[in-house]
Amino acid sequence: MATEQSLDQRYQEIRNKYLSYTEHTPLNSDHDFVKAGLIWGEDQGNQTPSVLLIALEPGHWDYSREDKLDLLAYELLASVNGDWPVFAHLQDDKNTRCYSLFGVDGSNSTHSVDEVPSIQLIRNYEKLEKDPTFRWSMRIYTKLMDDFNYFHEQVYQTVKDQVNDKNDIIEEVAKLLFLETFRVHHGEELTFIDHEGKTQRFREVFDYRYVAKHGAYAVEQIKAAFEALKTHEDYIVVSDDGTRNPIFPSVSHLRLSKSENYRTLLEAMQKLGPVTDNQGRVIAGKEVGTLADVAGDLLGRVFDVFLRANFESKGGLGVYLTPNPVKQAMLEIAMHNLQQDNEMMERLTSGAFRFCDATCGSFGFGSVALSHIERVIDHLGGISDAQKAKLKQTLRDNAFTGADAAPRMVMLARVNMALQGAPKAKIFYTDNSLTSQAFKPNSFDLICTNPPFGTPKFSNDKKGKESKERYEAQMEQVLGGFRPTEKVVDSYNAYYDHLKMKWQDTGDLYLDDNGTPKWPGYRTDLRNVSSGKKPQHHLYPSTSGLALGSKPDGKGNWKPVGATIDPAVLFIDRNLQLLRPGGLLLIVLPDGVLCNSGDRYVREYIMGKKDEKTGQFVGGKAIVKAVISLPSDTFKLSGTGAKTSILFLQKRHASKEHPEQFLPEPQGDVFMAVAETLGYVVKNNIEDYSAGVPNDLDKIVGAYKRGE
């Protein structure tokens, strides 16, 4: 029978795993269930960053949850004068897990990793103390998390207000955060016309002390300020088709009406105390801190943690936030490949790099990508800090594009990026990303996305039948091109005849002034190869074309599919179209697309058919880099137990002489892995990260990076 370990023995067991880290200092804790210490060493005469070791008594594994670990680490490190650790190892009687702390690896947050790097590798990670006010930012981060959650419960439970559900409260927080950016980034000269027609100084009115003094009158003034500023030019973004997109639609208004709620939230955002350096000294000119002084990635992280903790995915929105372990794994793999690609790095360092998520939700993928990209820039050699700062801002202004069909999510995404210094991120509303003219083919270097999948279910009553008819009419337009909503022929077959050099179609398309279809549909890569009256369409892949609105029969003749096609298939094709040749796509897909015999044509469309003589895959649009299977409960909170996987593709490069033609690149080996658990279980309608299950994606990402 195994002997139960004491806390000291458990701590020593962890310590023995890192004997090459020769230096050690214990840390004091107010908790009797914690024993902790710091270890570090020397590599080539230089001191390494430290690693935080934490042993826990049984029953306290909930501290493995990232937000609770942040708080515990902050408490343990409060008295540490030197550099803070960049990694942690946490262990109790049954569980063990490693972490990258505080997002210093560019990941945007504390998150689990497969292992603590060796003493030879750890020096490659940024020193925590690079930001001289990081400790102050970290303290404000924990304060804001607590205060925002308190406010959410206040409005939901006690000081109830003009909101319908928890998601409405999140939206109101976002609106007031938006207004706070004007208070901290605009001078005293910023004015607005209030509800009585009087000119007011914004900074004077939008202040928790003013609200405490003037109550309901101040609330009416703040509502008027929101109306005046919600379409401010600083927050107008222009998409690729020239459309101007404000952060809030004209129908969006402040709903909160009770002054107590305004005072609570404004005080949380504004009463931050003086800004101090990492030695606790007040910085001159910063006696009153603002959100502008908080590290951008931490501010974005506050918003993301608040959003994920309180967002309700059910209730008709059809929206679910991708779990953090999935986002982190996809971006770590993407950035690993990006840094190995000279052409991609040239685009990044020149400021021409572009990221996209055409079904972006709150733009979680983009937020994580921003942090990773900025870390890459921090480690560039040969350019000054000023040049690095300029490059970062260029990318914040131009590199990020997203869209969603839920206006609320677009607004949350815009606020999320604005908090991280990217108010010009091109995130906009679209009723359908499959057909939007705001996306141009061959435009993006990296796409990370979790698109809608599965065909909707309709009831058999009258309303259900009407909804089904509307859905099928919309899908017909997507599949065949813009035309009247009613289906007027049995078979739409829009395609570009490369021989006759013009569009051929069996139904009326909506054309622009040049006679070109506004949306040519999903058959632009099909050619009529028949010399007779009966058409026969064969596939001729091009870098900007589409074809998966059709499928081949046994003779290779491509024929239109019906409206019941899984949208996931169309999103594969659409995202490949949007990528530049050589660009990277990481996409979450239902396993059926990757496994079912009926979808074999999709897989052959992606990677081509295997030539039995040469063993090479011929005719495909992309090289398959990796397939990672996810657990069936990954999206349980969204009401689906569908098995999904991450598919990682690289769009094939194009011929310089004929940019619409792909080069015959070899497929190569495909990295394949299965994740059984993601570090949490779904319990009581939340993701419970304290259950003690491992995040298999940690080891999978590590294995991918090592080329295993």
* 70 lies in the same domain as 141: no
- The C-alpha torsion from 602 through 606 and 607 to 608, rounded to 10°, is 60
pLDDT greater than 60 at residue 145: yes
pLDDT band at 129 (very low <50, low <70, confident <90, very high): very low
In the predicted model, what is the mean pLDDT of residues 536-548?
93
* pLDDT at residue 317, rounded to an integer: 40
In the predicted model, what is the mean pLDDT of residues 545-551?
94
* pLDDT at residue 491, rounded to an integer: 67
Give the DSSP letter of residue 156. I
pTM (2 d.p.): 0.83
Does residue 539 lie within any of the structural domains?
yes
pLDDT greater than 60 at residue 612: yes
* pLDDT at residue 684, rounded to an integer: 66
* Backbone φ, ψ for residue 453 (5° rounding): -145, 160
* 78 lies in the same domain as 146: no
CA distance 369 to 379: 16
Question: Of 312, 344, 374, at which residue does a domain stop?
Answer: 312
Give the residue from 23, 27, 95, 35 showing the smallest Cα distance to 59.
95
pLDDT greater than 60 at residue 315: no
Residue type, 467: S
Q: How would DSSP label each residue in 180-207?
A: HHHHHHS-TT-EEE-TTS-EEEHHHHSS
Give the DSSP letter of residue 276. B
* pLDDT at residue 708, rounded to an integer: 85
Q: What is the 3-state secondary structure (H, E, C) of 49-118?
A: CCEEEEEECCCCHHHHCHHHHHHHHHHHHCCCCCCCCCEEEEECCCCEEEEECCCCCCCCCCEEECCCCC
* 192 lies in the same domain as 114: no
Q: How would DSSP label each residue in 329-398?
A: HHHHHHHHHHHT-HHHHHHHHTT---EEETT-TTTHHHHHHHHHHHHHHHT-SSS-HHHHHHHHHHHHHH
pLDDT greater than 90 at residue 79: no
In the predicted model, what is the mean pLDDT of residues 222-236?
93
In the predicted model, what is the mean pLDDT of residues 391-396?
96
Q: Residue 651 belongs to what H/E stretch? A: strand 644-651
* 126 lies in the same domain as 158: no
* pLDDT at residue 165, rounded to an integer: 85
* 98 lies in the same domain as 187: no
Give the DSSP letter of residue 707. T
> What 3-state DSSP class applies to 8?
helix
CA distance 95 to 55: 10
pLDDT band at 2 (very low <50, low <70, confident <90, very high): very low
pLDDT greater than 80 at residue 124: no
* Backbone φ, ψ for residue 587 (5° rounding): -135, 140
Characterize the bridge pairing of strands 622-629 and 671-674. Answer: parallel
pLDDT greater than 90 at residue 166: no
In the predicted model, what is the mean pLDDT of residues 131-139?
80
**How many folded domains does the chain comprise?**
3
Question: Of 522, 540, 565, at which residue does a domain stop?
Answer: 565
CA distance 369 to 450: 15
List the structure tokens of 85.
């650790």
* 63 lies in the same domain as 94: yes
Residue type, 120: Q
Characterize the bridge pairing of strands 579-590 and 644-651. Answer: antiparallel
Does residue 423 lie within any of the structural domains?
no
* 91 lies in the same domain as 137: no
Please classify residue 433 by burial: count the beta carbons closer than 10 Å to its beta carbon, then call 0-12 exposed, 13-18 middle and 19+ buried. Answer: buried
Q: 143 or 570: which carries more pLDDT confidence?
A: 570
> What 3-state DSSP class applies to 583?
strand
Handedness of CA 263, 266, 271, 272 (dihedral sign): positive
How distant, in Å, are the alpha carbons of 188, 292, 376 from that of 296? 23, 8, 16
* Backbone φ, ψ for residue 574 (5° rounding): -60, -45
Q: What is the 3-state secondary structure (H, E, C) of 533-558?
A: CCCCEEECCCCCCCCCCEEECCCCCE
> Domain range spanning residue 135?
131-312
What are the b/e assignments for 263-294, b being 16+ CB within 10 Å? bbbbbbbbebeebbbbeeeeeeeeeebbbebb
Q: 680 or 346: which carries more pLDDT confidence?
A: 346
* pLDDT at residue 487, rounded to an integer: 65
* 83 lies in the same domain as 144: no
pLDDT band at 288 (very low <50, low <70, confident <90, very high): very high
* pLDDT at residue 688, rounded to an integer: 73
Please classify residue 572 by burial: count the beta carbons closer than 10 Å to its beta carbon, then call 0-12 exposed, 13-18 middle and 19+ buried. Answer: buried
pLDDT greater than 80 at residue 519: yes
pLDDT greater than 70 at residue 21: yes
pLDDT greater than 50 at residue 38: yes
List the structure tokens of 410.
């677009």
* pLDDT at residue 1, rounded to an integer: 38
In the predicted model, what is the mean pLDDT of residues 606-629?
92
List the structure tokens of 343.
């052409």
Rg of the chain taking only CA atoms, in angstroms: 27
* pLDDT at residue 381, rounded to an integer: 85
Does residue 191 lie within any of the structural domains?
yes
Does residue 180 lie within any of the structural domains?
yes
Contacts 24+ apart (CB under 8 A), 651-656: 651/543, 651/576, 651/579, 651/580, 651/581, 651/582, 651/583, 651/584, 651/585, 651/621, 651/622, 652/581, 652/582, 652/620, 652/621, 652/622, 652/623, 653/581, 653/582, 654/543, 654/581, 654/582
Instruction: Kindly report which listed range (12-26, 35-49, 352-366, 550-564) carries the lowest average pLDDT score.
Output: 35-49
pLDDT band at 176 (very low <50, low <70, confident <90, very high): very high
* pLDDT at residue 167, rounded to an integer: 86
Selection from 45-59, 78-92, 199-213, 320-334 with the highest mean pLDDT? 199-213
Give the DSSP letter of residue 654. B
Do the beta carbons of residue 579 and residue 545 sit within 8 Å? Answer: no
Please classify residue 612 by burial: count the beta carbons closer than 10 Å to its beta carbon, then call 0-12 exposed, 13-18 middle and 19+ buried. Answer: exposed
* pLDDT at residue 615, rounded to an integer: 82
Question: Of 277, 294, 312, at which residue does a domain stop?
Answer: 312
pLDDT band at 69 (very low <50, low <70, confident <90, very high): very high
* pLDDT at residue 539, rounded to an integer: 93
| pLDDT tens per residue across span 235-283 | 898 888 888 988 888 889 999 999 999 999 999 999 999 999 877 889 9
Does residue 527 lie within any of the structural domains?
yes
* pLDDT at residue 447, rounded to an integer: 98
Residue type, 63: Y
| pLDDT tens per residue across span 93-120 | 999 999 988 766 555 678 888 888 877 6
CA distance 655 to 662: 6
* 21 lies in the same domain as 167: no
pLDDT greater than 70 at residue 706: yes
CA distance 105 to 124: 10
* pLDDT at residue 43, rounded to an integer: 62
Neighbours of 617 (CB within 10 A): 20
In the predicted model, what is the mean pLDDT of residues 591-615?
92
Instruction: Kindly report which listed range (61-75, 259-273, 435-449, 463-477) carries the lowest average pLDDT score.
Output: 463-477
Average pLDDT over all residues of the chain: 87
Sole residue written with tokens 């298999």:
696
Does residue 621 lie within any of the structural domains?
no
* 194 lies in the same domain as 57: no
pLDDT greater than 60 at residue 125: no
Q: Residue 269 belongs to what H/E stretch? A: helix 259-270
Does residue 223 lie within any of the structural domains?
yes
Give the residue from 39, 36, 37 showing the smallest Cα distance to 51.
39
Does residue 404 lie within any of the structural domains?
no
Give the residue from 420, 209, 167 showing the smallest Cα distance to 294.
420
* pLDDT at residue 107, rounded to an integer: 58
Q: Which residues lie below 8 Å from residue 617, measured CB to CB, with a gap of 6+?
A: 607, 608, 609, 610, 611, 667
* pLDDT at residue 316, rounded to an integer: 38
* pLDDT at residue 105, rounded to an integer: 57
* 135 lies in the same domain as 94: no
* 167 lies in the same domain as 269: yes
